[in-house]
Amino acid sequence: MSTFKVAVCQTKVYEDKMRNLENLAQLLERDDVQQADLVTLPEMWCCPYQTENFPIYAEKEGGEFYQALSDLAAKHKIYLSAGSVPEVDDEGHVYNTAYVFDREGKQIAKHRKVHMFDIYARGQVVFKESDTLTPGDSFDAFDTEMCRMGLNICFDIRFPESSRLPALDGAKVILNPGAFNMTTGPAHWELGFRQRAIENQVYMIGTAPARDPEAGYTSWGHSIVVDPWGTVVMQMDEKEGIEIVEIDLDYVEKIRRKLPLISARRTDVYELSSK
């Protein structure tokens, strides 16, 4: 298919994990969402975004929450980019993990956040994901019936390789569940998505939690879709909501023919000289 519809869901985050799941189940019943091929969710949308919460809310892959997401994808016959959730492995390592399920509820992609959001200000730690999270170690592309896609999480977007590697592997759309804060959001959220879209000539889809001023970590919101030319196709405000956006894959090819950035790369000179 040359076009498809994505439902970008900027959800409110509740302390009760299952209430977040119930909220999603209700949203998926909406008529406009029923018309979407792909539904995208935010980063850590099942628990308040605080480092101490991640081990508490974490489940193993295949656990109750995971299975419920798989079942919802199968029930509604959608591709579900299930935001990110805390995952714990057999050794007790906790990850910020994004899953994608196909229309039958089968997991077709998994990404563990690679770059930890460890932020310092005047020598003081403001936020340190590495206190409780273990980093992932790869950026991969995956296939859907629409096109090949890539997947990364929030802070990953600040590192060009997070989008370039999937793009080189054939991705035309890159999904990024993210939760920029009230400082980094106004400064770099839109800019970062436009940057990565332009240099990789892909659609960038960023899905954020709705803003909750009472939360310990306040999300900027502003879920966004940027096209391969760097144009902001859609950007929400801070409130909870859903936007349906049409993705035009022919436009990706048109832009890549018009400005052949990928094919014009000079990999023979992309190495620091010791001179």
The catalytic residue positions are 43, 113, 154
**Nearby residues of 66 by Cβ (< 8 Å), 6 or more positions away:** 59, 60, 85, 99
Instruction: Describe the crossing of helices 64-76 and 17-27 by its angle, rounded to 10 degrees.
Output: 0
Rounded CA-CA distance 54/58 in Å is 6
Query: Could you tell me where the DSSP H helices lie in the chain?
Result: 17-27, 31-34, 53-57, 64-76, 161-168, 184, 190-200, 249-258
3-state secondary structure of 173: strand
End-to-end CA distance of the chain: 50
What's the token pair of residue 181? 């804060």
Rounded CA-CA distance 75/69 in Å is 10
Q: Are strands 148-151 and 124-128 parallel, antiparallel or unpaired?
A: unpaired
What's the token pair of residue 33? 């969402």
Q: Are strands 141-143 and 148-151 parallel, antiparallel or unpaired?
A: antiparallel
Rounded CA-CA distance 58/96 in Å is 9
